[in-house]
Amino acid sequence: MPIWNQTNVNHLLARSLFGFSAKDSQQAMGYGNFSDLINKALLADAPMPAAPNSWVTLAPLQAQQNDGSAGNWYRELTYWWYNRMLDEGLNMREKMVLFFHNHFSNERDKVSYPQHMYQQNQLFRKYAFGNFKQLVKDVTIDPSMLIYLDGNNSRGSSPNENYAREIMELFTLGIGNYTETDIKQAAKVFSGWQVKDLVSVFDSTRWYTDATVTVFTKAAKFKYDTLIDWIFEQKAAAEFISRKLYQEFVYYKPNEAFVLQMADVLRKNNYEMKPLLRFLFNSDEFYKASIQGSKIKNPSELMVGSAKLLQSKATDTVNLYELAKTLQMQLFQPPNVAGWPGQRDWISSTTYSHRGGFTDSLLTGKRYNGVAVTGKLDALTYARSFVNAEKAVEFVDELVALSLRFPLSDVRKKFLLDTLLDGTTIMNWSTYTASADTRINKFLKALMRLPEYQLC
């Protein structure tokens, strides 16, 4: 059993949530043990959030594209989702929604109506802790997916192979666990569907007419859902999604022995996600010292997490929206059907530099290009919310422990302390001196520009 202490709890929050504030961390410690924190907070079921607006039920019309409505609604949908993340508290449902959005990657460039994307986003929320097999079935005939992977209008007589390939390669089994023939045969089974306004409709006259098709050596008159049942009978299925979860929540290079344990849990629970997540977050593997601080934050974690860390009251979601594009994680616009690869792929000379620019913007109230950012930090009020605000060394230690999962060397702590003091002495430090405001801002800027800050 993992040891219950602040370090391990902060590690759990850093990975399962979009970052956390000092208050979140204290509240989590209040649960007193992992079991209660996980069951009563992280994995607790919650009602579905209200829709961002009434446009979600409008039938798609070309006019909505022409007059710019669709683009504006996509923005609204994205702000709405950021607000779900910012307000997640100690519940990890939104993290799972993002996990599934990345897993069943759909791009708004092709799914041009946000109504479809909103439906899919709510589907992920519904199944965040639910049955993965059923989610795959629902996603298969989800309008957004039908549009994105060309199931829409695919006919049994000359089926489009796109969805059949990606469900096997990227959604359920992984490369090497199927043949080109399996894809061709499965493509027939997935045919017959069309998107009509906001729903998908099956038309048997567009379906395949062969008596049977053969997939994974079994011949049958498969339907889309019985074929998915059969896909989940393949050994690779439970391992594939377990590996992906491991890479998201633990470490990007999977520990295959542990992945097999996860797959066992998943199979025994008939592909229910909640028991698997409970197993993962109660495991010693998850809390290993070598795992902590080894994940490169994705841009959503970085941006939402920084806002939470700074206890931002009115986070500028326009700023998040714009910077997400620059940082290569525009929501509803993953790079391709494989989603965002994550970890080191987040970082290039450009994105690394822009990350620093983003955290600066929360302190300065200005984006790199000069555009104003709302919710600028009140440095003095913020500092004084910490019990150690008037003790420079302890204040630095407290902020480091709160915001960095990578253990910082004493030399680097000294650098942060020197930045905070900026010429004054430990003895003379007080948030009530004339330039304390500037000093705290400089210190926070340096803290969030440390390469260590990019890790969680």
- 274 or 354: whose CB is closer to other proteins? 354
Based on DSSP, count helices (H) and strands (E) in the chain, helices before strands: 23, 4
Question: How far apart are the C-alpha atoms of 368 and 365, rounded to whole Å?
Answer: 10
| Measured distance CA(71)–CA(55) in Å, rounded | 12
Min separation Cβ 269 and other proteins, Å: 29
Tokens of 444: 């926070």
Residue closer to other proteins, measured from CB, 94 or 150 = 150
We find the least distance from the C-beta atom of residue 343 to other proteins, in angstroms, to be: 8
- Tokens standing for residue 442: 């400089």
**Could you tell me the smallest distance in angstroms from the CB atom of residue 310 to other proteins?**
19
Helices (H), ranges, 178-255: 180-189, 224-231, 235-249
Closest separation between CB of residue 411 and other proteins, Å? 5
* Residue nearer to other proteins on the CB measure, 178 or 279: 178
Contact call for residues 97 and 331 (beta carbons, < 8 A): no
Name the residue nearer to other proteins (CB basis): 37 or 329. 329
Residues contacting residue 228 through CB under 8 Å, at least 6 positions apart: 133, 136, 137, 140, 167, 172
The nearest distance, CB 421 to other proteins, in angstroms, is 16
Q: Output the smallest distance, CB 274 to other proteins, in A.
A: 28
Compute how many other C-beta atoms are within 10 angstroms of the C-beta atom of residue 62.
Answer: 9
Count of Cβ atoms closer than 10 Å to residue 445 Cβ = 16
Minimum Å gap between C-beta 117 and other proteins is: 19
Give whichever of 168 and 237 is closer to other proteins, judged by the CB atom: 168
Closest distance to other proteins from the beta carbon of 333 (Å): 12
Q: Are 252 and 342 in contact (CB under 8 A)?
A: yes
**Residues engaged in binding other proteins (CB under 8 A):** 150, 153-155, 157-162, 165, 169, 175, 180, 251, 290-296, 326, 328, 335-338, 343-345, 347-354, 356-357, 368, 406, 409, 411-412, 415, 449, 451-452, 454-455
127 versus 148: smaller Cβ distance to other proteins: 148
Q: Residues 209-215: contacts with CB within 8 Å, 24+ apart?
A: 209/156, 209/157, 210/156, 213/185, 213/186, 213/188, 213/189, 214/181, 214/185, 215/182, 215/185, 215/186, 215/189
Q: What is the DSSP letter of 365?
A: S
Looking at the Cβ atoms of 226 and 350, the one nearer to other proteins is: 350
Residue number, 402 or 455, with CB nearest to other proteins: 455
Beta bridge partners of 219: 214
Least distance to other proteins from the beta carbon of 28, Å?
A: 22
Integer Cα distance of 42 and 216 in angstroms: 38
130 or 156: CB nearest other proteins: 156
The 3-class secondary structure across 83-152, one letter per residue, is: HHHHCCCCCCHHHHHHHHHHHCCCCCCCCCCHHHHHHHHHHHHHCCCCEHHHHHHHHHCCHHHHHHCCCC
Look up residue 303 and give its two tokens: 């941006």
